[in-house]
Amino acid sequence: MALANVFHQPEQPLDVPNPYPDTIPPPGPSSGPAAIEFHEVSRVYGKQSTGVAALDNVTVGLAAGSFTAVMGPSGSGKSTFLHCAGGLEQPTSGRVIVAGNDITEASEAALTRLRRADVGFVFQNFNLIASLSAERNVAMPLQMAGRKPSRREVREVLTQVGLGDRMRHRPRELSGGQQQRVAIARAMVTKPTVLLADEPTGALDSKAARIVLDMLRSMVEQRGQTIVMVTHDPTAAARADQVLFLSDGRIVDRIDDPSARVVADRLARLEE
């Protein structure tokens, strides 16, 4: 993949059917090939009776090869949604299916396998291991999976994110945008079905943010990967195929082919 491709304006992929023709949340899981399915998922913190529901009976399907942005006011359940999708938190009730695996009651070992093969993560704080070079950070998931990563393989991925010449640098020797690109390269190296991103541009300036979003966009288009991205930034959300709006743990709205202005208006109304 050439880096130049990254700057192309995104287009709706034609081969992936959009499972949600309407702008309101669908009543059940999609009929198309979904990469992530939530079936009546609730996540309650504290006791069931008195606790706070971070997710309240959410049912949604996210099509394979789609780029979904998740937005909502603070405390609306965005992060919990992402954590449940990645098996980092277990729902209190309901079922979560990721890349065909029901992970609702999966064992630690099964979740570890899921993280090795099917799910990648990117976060606001980059979350790189400070003591390891960019190259070693990227190689880490392969190593954990018991593979001996070839230097060529790692170099290729780092080149794709434009850091082919920074392989030996430690995280603290890189800028924020560069660190986030290393984190993306780390998530790309296992070629996961699903990439979960929590505020990936939250700590970046607008130029670095655009480069990161371009990369995510091209992962969807060039590799057919599914991306779910939690964000506060309407400009970032506008790069997705669809935006889900969460409020008080429920999906309250959905916009397809979003533009930054429409997203910002909708978000402003939600936060009122």
Partner 1 sequence: MFALSLTTLRDRWTLFVGAIVTVTIGVALVQASLLTLIAAATADIAAGLPPTEDLLVRNGYESAISMMGMILFISGFVAMFIVGSTFAFTVAQRRRDLALLRLVGASRRQVQRLLVGEAVLLGAVGTGFGVALGFWVAGLEADLLIDFGFVPAGFTVAWRSWILAVSAGVGIGIAVAGSLGAARRAGQVRPLAALRATAKAERVMTFWRWIIGIIATAGAIAMMIISSAVGNEGALALSTSVCLVWIVALAALSPVIVPVVGGLVGLVSRLILPYSRLGELIHANLRDGVRRSSSTATPVMLLIGLLVGLSGAMDVMAAGSATEMELTLDGDLMVTATGDLGDELAAIPGVKTVSEEASVIVGVDEERGESQTNVAVLGVAIDPLTYPQTHRITEVEGDIARLDDGAVVLSRGLASTLGSDVDEMVTLQMQGVDQNLLLVATLRDTLAGPEVLLPLSDAAPGEPHRYIVQTASPAAAGAVAAEIAAMSPADPDFDVVTMDEWIDAAGDAEERTSRNIIIAIVGLAALYSAIAVVNAVVIAAAGRREEFAIARLSGLSRAQVVRAALWESLTVTTAGVLLGGAVAAGTVLGATAAVSEIVGRPVEATPWSLFALVTATATVLVIATSLATTLAATRMPPVAVAGARQ
Closest contact distance (angstroms) between CB of 235 and partner 1 is 23
CA 50 to chain centre: 31
**Binding residues among 77-96 for partner 1 as defined by CB under 8 A:** 79, 83, 88-89
Any contact of residue 179 with partner 1 (CB under 8 A)? yes
Any contact of residue 190 with partner 1 (CB under 8 A)? yes
Cβ count within 10 A of residue 263: 23
- Identify the burial level of 235 via C-beta atoms within 10 angstroms of its C-beta, where 0-12 means exposed, 13-18 middle and 19 or more buried: middle
**Binding residues among 197-236 for partner 1 as defined by CB under 8 A:** 198, 203
Any contact of residue 2 with partner 1 (CB under 8 A)? no
Contacts of 148 (CB under 8 A, 6+ apart): 142
DSSP lists the bridge partners of residue 53 as: 44
Cβ count within 10 A of residue 73: 16
Closest contact distance (angstroms) between CB of 194 and partner 1 is 14
Closest contact distance (angstroms) between CB of 15 and partner 1 is 29
**Binding residues among 120-149 for partner 1 as defined by CB under 8 A:** 121, 123, 125-132, 136, 140-141, 144-145
Going 185 to 186 to 189 to 193, the CA torsion angle's sign is negative
Return residues touching partner 1 (CB under 8 A): 79, 83, 88-89, 108-109, 112, 115-116, 121, 123, 125-132, 136, 140-141, 144-145, 171-172, 179, 186, 190, 198, 203
